Structures are given as C-alpha cells and as structure tokens.
Structure 1
Amino acid sequence: MKKIASILAIALLLFGSSCADFLEEENKSNVTAEEFYATKEGYSALVNSNYAALRNIYGNQPWMFEAGTDLYQEGRGLEPQGLSKYTELNSASSNVNFLYVNGYKSIQLANSAIFYADKTEQAAVNTQYLGEVRFLRANAYFLLVQSYGGVPLITEFIQEPILAFDRATAEEVYAFIISELEGALTQVSSGSYSGRVNKRAVENLLAKVHLTRAYEDFAASDDFAKAASYADKVIGGQGLTISSEQLWKPGNDMNAEVIFSVQYSAGSISADPSRIGNQQQNFFGPYLGGSEVAGNAPYKTYNLLPTRFALDLFEKGDERWYSTFMTEMFTRYYDYYDVADHKSLTVRDFYEPRWFTAQDSIAYVAAHPGVVYHSYGTTDPVSAITTADRATMIVKKFDDPKSLFAGGTSGTSTRDFIVHRLADTYLVAAEAYLQLGNAAQGLERLNAVRARAKVANATLAEFDIDYILDERARELLGEYHRWFDLKRTGKLVERASAHNSWISPENFVGAGGNLKILRPIPQEALDLNQNKNFPQNPAYD
C-alpha cells in the first residue's frame, strides 16, 4: 500500500512541479490513500481538492488567457515576452508551461477521484461527485487542447511512474471531452448553482466545446447546431436582468447569472492571506501606489492594460463603460465602494470617455477643481505613454475592497473567479446561430446583451463574426476568454496585429513558415518524456 505522499509525488516526476499545497498537508499523517479515501469524509475531501485545484488555473497568472491579443498590452510592468509579443515564443518561454502543468495536476486529481469512486464507502452523493470530477477533468483537457493542440490523454490514475507518453490528436481529445461531459450530464445535480458543478454548468461547457470544435477541420457536421442548442438550454428563458454595475458589485459574486465559478472566502485563504487569494484584481490597471496606500487602493501590476482599440469599442450610454472602468478615482480609491454618497467625495483623477466634447471637459474641470484630468487618447499603453502612477485606464470590475495590499505575484482577493456567466452564453448562442446561417436568431441573442447595457440594437447588416468579437470584448473585458476567442475564430493574427502596437503579422511566423497559433509543448514536458518521437507543434520545430 502506498502512502498519499508517494502517490502524489508521481506528478512531480511527470510534470516537473510540486503537488498542490492543499494536498501536501495530507502528507503529515501516516494514513494511506486506501484508508483515507475509503471513508465518506476522505472521499469528500478528495473531490473538494479537485475544486481547489481550479485556483491554480484561474486564480493566478493570466498570461495564457489574455496576453498577446487585441485588447491588452503591457505598460510599465513587463509581461512574459513570448506570450505577449510572439517573437520570443518557444518551448522554454516564460509561463508557456502554465496551463500544461496546472491542467495535468487537475487531471491527475480527477483521475484519482474517479479511481477511488467505487472503492470508497458508498453513498448516494458519490454518483454526483463522479459527474463533478468528470466535468473538471474535461475542463482541464479543453484548456489544454485549445492551447497546445493534441496532448497525451491520461484517463487512468497513475500509481506507478510512467516515463513515456504518446500524443493524442486534437480530434481524439475533443471526442474525449464531449464524451465525458455527456456522461456527466446524467450524474451531476440538476439543482440551482451553489458552487458545485451542476447540469447547467455541464451544458454550458458542452456549448463552448462544440462551438470551438466547429471551427476545426475535423468538426462534426452538427457542432454549431449543438452549440446553439446547449446554449439555449442554459439560457432557458432567463433574461439578463441584473444591471452591469450590480453584476460586479463586491459581495454579489453568487448572483443569478453565474453559471460556474471558482470559490474563495476569507477562511479559505486564512493560512496565508497575503499570498494565496485570487490575483484577478491585480491586473488590467496602472500602479496606484506602494505599500503606503495599503487599505486605500488595490495593488495593480501596470500590465495587461486595455488598448486604445478596447477603449474605442465603448459608445456613449453603454453602462459597461462605467461598470468596467474606474472613471472617477476618489482621494481614497476604495471610497467608491465604502461610501454610499459619492457627492461628498473629492475626485483625484478623472478618465475622460471618447464621447466627451471640449465643453464637457471644461465643465467637468470647473466642477472638480484640482482634479488630475486624463484626456481620452492618453490613457492607453502606446509606446509613448507616460509611466506615471495612475496614468492608464483602471479596470475595476474585479476590485476587492476587503483584500490586503500585497504586490508581486501575491493574491489577496477573496472574491470568486467567475468562469462562466449567462451573458457569455448568450454570445455563444449568437455566434453559433450566425455560423449556422440563422443570423436573425443570433442577432436576437446578441441584442439581449446590448439591451442590458442600454445601447441600441445591432442590425443584421453589421452582424458578423467581428461584431460578435467586439461585443464579447465590451461584455467580457478582463474575464480570461480573449486569447481563446481569437484563436477559435481564426482571428488571432489579424486582430492582435491590427490593434496591439507591440505585434505585427511577422511576429507570428515560426519554423518552416508555420504560424504560432498553438502554444509550444513545454520543453520540460519533452525532456521528461522518454518517447523521443513525441512531436512538437510545427511552428516551434
């Protein structure tokens, strides 16, 4: 019988990284896996550890989700250069292994929960648990196949070291993902969302997976149809009735439009509250000050800043401009959340919207003497932008006024990370219907999103894939979808080159003239794999 420490050490051998902190704590005991996971309590803990692993994927570094796109680029803070500019992208580039390592950690945990499902003390909830971890395993593989293409399909719990892996095709990986999710549909709870995977979350992921596969050359003929059907099941007649501002209000993370999220709480990070929380609020804004602002403003990294293109997408009257950006920064930043009557507060910085006239500017300054007025066109990170504190637009939708101040790679927020929400599902349906040739139906879904934002309906004449990507940008800015959106739709090279001043089409050209669309298989994975015939992606050979 193997100790838990011995079993989990295999992940270190295979993937070149340590096992998750929440499981390392189990190593302090002398209890075997067979003994611990055979109990209801032990098996429940194992399943819960699968959820905790999501924090390593979504709560930490966002580069593989957002860098190198049309919406964000670096300012004073540098990003991993390969992922953000493509010219230095190779198998050893910084952070290129992020989803590979954390994806396979998640898969190994799911495989262990599936392995022990029929060995543990049987309970009615075990079938539900099994469906939940199948969803989580499918989600990990979905992130992997989008990022790297075909990857090893590891579906069994690894108890002895395996030193050589074969590479499955992307087609095989997609088929496995869909099979897993279809199986999970009959196992998970059909109740309302409470933090655990339910049927609606599975249907939502199936919609996204079918939509993504539909663009591949091995797509099934009904992928777009299934994407639309699953998305409509998730929507189920539910309207977008929560205002944009309330949607992102701190403390409202479990609102009725959330389909699946990564859960946090003050208690869950109490072991190290200055390090192991959510990092999402750290990005998408300029530096606001050092430790002297502790308790008054969040730490911002000064990278992944909204591009001019991203800012230009918003029009007058779009409520998402104000729910997304901190357009008025008070002397104490967090007073925006902590003080109900903003009229009593002094505005320190104002960030002008595109639609302000000269008269609007004069009037605003007259009403706010002493304000630092940031004119439109000076708050996006072009090469000549000032590197002063507070110089660029601040994305506020992830702010946590209860978080500690901690810089670097520390995460201190206890807000949930929203992975899937209803407006995204509406836009998935819009895209699927457009590609099915039913533009009218797709436009109806998209205009439901615009109606909540209080902007005019789009018309059939302008409704195309670029309009959908623009709408996804307005609605989902900062929500870890963008690289996947551009890659899925075949728009990555075109739009990143057109709207990110650090990127040109030549940056994407790799070995043999192949384009760097997929990320390279990490060098550490190739080095550890004794199958030396395991192929690298073509652009990196």
Structure 2
Amino acid sequence: MKKSFFLHISACAIMGMASCANKLDVQPDTLVSPDQVNSSNVGLVLNGARLALTNNAFYNYYILTEIMGDDVQTTSLQGYELCNIPVTDNSLTIAYRYPFACVNNANVVIRYYSAHTGEAALRPIAGEAYLLRAYAYMLLNEQFGKVAIMDGTEDPLSYPERQSEEKVKAEIEANLLKAVELLPDAGGKPLKGSKQAAQLLLARFYLNNGKFAEAENLANAVITSGKFALLDEKFDEIFKYNTASKEMVYAVAEVSSGVNNTKQGLPGVYGPGSGRAGGANIWIDSNLVKSYENTDIRKPFFTRMKGSSITDTVWFLVKFPEELQPSYPICRYSEAFLIAAEAKARTGTVDVTRYNELRAKRKASLAANGDFANAAAFLDAIELERRREFVGERHRWQDMRRFGKAIPWLEGFQQPAGHVIFPIPERLFTLNPTLQQNDDY
C-alpha cells in the first residue's frame, strides 16, 4: 500500500490553461484522497515532492540558465546560447512543470502538518516541505518571473492567477522563514533538509534582492553553526551521492535507473564523452579555466579535448562524479563565505576575511584589504571567485543579473532586456490564447 501511495503521490499533472488572461492551470492531481494521508506515510509524500522536482531530468535546471551565461557554451540549445529562447522549446515545459509538481506535493505535507502541529515528529517533515516549496518557487520566479501561488486548498477546477513578482518573493521568504523555524540542525545527511540549508537559501534570496545585512547575518550563522567544514583536497567528494563531505549543505537526488548506467545527471551533460559521461557538446569558457592558480584544488576538474560536434579543443567540466544515482547540489557551505564577503562589500566595506577563508582551503593565494582600491574592485574579485567555485551549478545567470552583467550580455546578442527570464511555453497559449506572454517575447 505504501509503495502504491508513494508512486501516485509523486506523479502530479499540472499543465493546462484557463480561459482568461494571466491564469495558469496548475491543478494538482495527486491521485490520493486527503483521508489517505497519515502520520506514517506523510514522509512518503515529502519524498514524492523531491522526486517530482527532479523527475529524473533535474540537469535541465542546471544547464539552461548556465548556457545563457558566459561560463558555459554549447553547440546545442542555441536558443539559450543566444538568449533568444523559442516559445516552442520543449525544455520550457520541463522548467515550468516540475517545480509546480513539487509545490503540489509539499502542499499536501504542509496541510497535514497544519492539522497535526502537536506531533513533534512531523516538524522536520513539514520543515523540509516548506524548504522544497520555497526552492520550487525560487526556480519558477528566476525562470518565468510572475507565477501562480498555491497552498493546496484551491478548487480543483480553478485556475490560479499569475501573481506579481513581489508576491512570489514574499511567498518564498515566508516559506524559508518557516523552514528555519521547523527544521533541525544539520546532522551530516545532505539529502535531508536542515535549518542551515534554509538559512543559506534565505541568505541567497536576500542577497539577490538587495537585503545585504540580512544576507550577511544568515551566512555567518551557517558558518558559525559548527555543522560544516571546508575541504582542502578531494574537491569532487562534495558532489557524490549522499556524500559524507561536510561541505554539502543540501542536495537532491534522482531515483536510480535500476541499470548499470553511470552516465546520467550532471556528468551526462557537462562531460567530454569518449568513454566518459557526456555528449561532448557543452564546455566551459577557456578564460575561466585559465583563471585558476596551479595550486588550486578545483583546477584538476577540467579536461581539455576535442568535442564531438566542434572543431576546436575545449575544456570540459568533470567535477561531478559518475554514479548510478545522480545527485544535485542545492546549496554548499562555500556559498556562505562568498555571500558574507559580498554582502559586506555591497555596503562599501572591504573585508577579505571570509573570502580568504575559502581561498585558503582551495589552496589559492590570499589577499589583503589593501589589495583592492575600493569595494567595487573587491566585488569584481568575489564575482570571479563565485565563477570558479560554482561553475556548472546554476548560479551564474543570477550572479550576472546581480552584478549588472546580464543586460549588457543580452545587448551583445541584440536581445531585449526581457530575455533575462524565459518565455511562457507556447503549449499553454494553445489552451488559452488570451494569456499574456512575458515581456519581449
């Protein structure tokens, strides 16, 4: 019974469209009646939320915005490479659909917890549901701007309106604050949500939205929690499935394929092929690779070879281990150090302490406050360090937006400013011709 429940609860159908403008049909279809949820199986519903988010294709979320930016290049997905995404692109449907499926499952958990708050064992389950719901809305907002907000109490035949970005961001913040309240401290299991995971995602959210004091305080709370540690060797250990590394704060994993296939997930898109994972058609900007110092423990995780569909020899990213069960980093400990450094620099203060703590563990040269003429110069260094640290991990496009690089980048491709986000998939307009498309599409 539990297995059947789990399979149904993780299969959410949310596509469709209403008959009026700006309304998206994101009706949940969990195929499970509310009276089937109980304290014994609500954890399975939470697991369904994780799996609904990944849908064994989570790599799409990592490569699409990375390809739009300046670190990752490709001969495929040219709409993203040129920042001019066709509304007919199939990847748009994936990018739109599965975060909503995660929201639907998280709503089931949260509604059940709201009716049983006296059961202490439900707190971490509900806490991670709030965490996942916040992250799903972060994905949707970053990719599409305005999106529908659901709490699971909607009429199944209703069509929730796309809410303003301000309301979506308020929803993200509220969910992360609730996750901080409910989740326990990290216990060495990065595939489970923790208080520090919620704090770090909230710090990222505040940084991206100009709340620098709040971002710095939360980042420092994660750093001083005593639950994590930076590595100075074996950098790829961080990214292994269910890693024991104290650098991974939170990750999600796909279901194992059940066959002896280690060529999936992030290695399968970034890898060089030729006996290794990857299609050899997505590679890393050579100037970024050359920016690593020879002693840097991150530098060995690039390999230079000729790709399958290009004439040049290029650099491929190989830091993600080839495993039977792909795992994806949501937030890592190193991010807290760079958020703390950047947030302080955004207020005009040059303080290299957190920046140096990370670089020391990466075996890169250290800096002094006096090495930077002003906070703007230090921010340039932080931006480059973020590129080195998080290449391939879906940070770069949001960083480019925050550092003022995205609009000039779009202009270089003769694309309008509205292309900082994706278009609404055309499939939705087939069902609702009056839906309003995102600006400049």
TM-score bracket, normalised by the shorter chain, equals 0.7 to 0.9
2:110 and 2:126 in contact (8 A); partners too: yes
More displaced stretch, 3-12 vs 223-232: 3-12
Do the aligned partners of 1:10 and 1:158 also contact (CA within 8 Å) in 2? no
Aligned to 2:296: 318
Specify the alignment match of 2:67 in structure 1. Answer: 67
SS at match of 1:243: coil
Which amino acid in structure 2 is aligned with residue 79 of structure 1? S
Shift in alpha-carbon separation, 1:17–1:80, aligned structure 2, 3 A: farther
Query: Counterpart in 2 of 1:305?
Result: 283
| 1:456 Cα offset (Å) | 1.6
Q: 1:299 is aligned with what amino acid?
A: A
Superposition deviation, residue 18 in structure 1? 12
- 1:306 deviates by 0.7
The aligned counterpart of 1:11 is 14
Q: Tell me the TM-score normalized by structure 2.
A: 0.84
Question: Secondary structure at the residue paired with 1:185?
Answer: helix
Quote the residue 2:53 is aligned against: 54
Report the TM-score, using the length of structure 1 for normalisation: 0.70
Report the Cα distance in structure 1 between the residues aligned to 2:264 and 2:340, rounded to whole angstroms.
30
AA aligned to 1:60 is Y
Indicate which of 414, 430, 448 corresponds to 2:325.
Answer: 414
- d(CA) in 2 for partners of 1:58 and 1:419? 15
RMSD: 3.4
Alignment of 1:71-220 (within 5 A): 71-74=71-74, 78-87=75-84, 89-118=85-114, 123-158=119-154, 160-162=156-158, 164-194=159-189, 195-214=191-210
Q: Which residue does 2:427 correspond to in 1?
A: 524
- Residues in 2 aligned to 1:58 and 1:253: alpha-carbon distance in whole angstroms: 20
Listed as ranges, the gaps of 5+ residues in structure 2 are: 18-23
Comparing 245-254 and 42-51, the one that deviates more: 245-254
Q: Please report how far the alpha carbon of residue 278 of structure 1 lies from its aligned counterpart in structure 2 after TM superposition.
A: 4.9
Letter in 2 for 1:255: S
Q: 1:103 to 1:241 in 2, by over 3 A?
A: closer
1:468 aligned onto 2:379: no
Structure 1 equivalent of residue 248 of structure 2:
258
Equivalent residues in 2 for 1:425-504 (5 A)? 425-440=336-351, 443-458=352-367, 459-461=371-373, 463-494=377-408, 496=409
Return 5+ residue gaps in structure 1 as ranges: 215-222, 289-296, 327-350, 352-373, 404-412, 498-503
The residue that corresponds to 2:319 in the other structure is 397
1:335-382 per-position Cα deviation (integer Å, ceiling 9, x unaligned)? xxxxxxxxxxxxxxxx5xxxxxxxxxxxxxxxxxxxxxx7xxxx699x
| CA–CA distance in structure 2, aligned partners of residues 95 and 10 of structure 1 | 17
Tell me, in whole angstroms, the C-alpha distance in 1 between the residues paired with 2:233 and 2:165.
37
Q: Is this contact kept in 1: 2:50–2:252, CA < 8 A?
A: yes
Q: Distance in 2 between matches of 1:230 and 1:448?
A: 17
- Deviation of 1:255 (Å): 0.8
Q: Specify the SS of the correspondent of 1:393.
A: strand
Which protein has the larger Cα radius of gyration, Structure 1 or Structure 2? 1
CA drift of 1:454 comes to 1.7
Give CA-to-partner distance per residue, 1:178-226, whole Å, 9 cap, x none. 1121122221113424221111111111100111111xxxxxxxx1110
Partner secondary structure for residue 330 of structure 2: strand
The answer to whether the aligner puts 1:280 opposite 2:262 as a matched pair is no
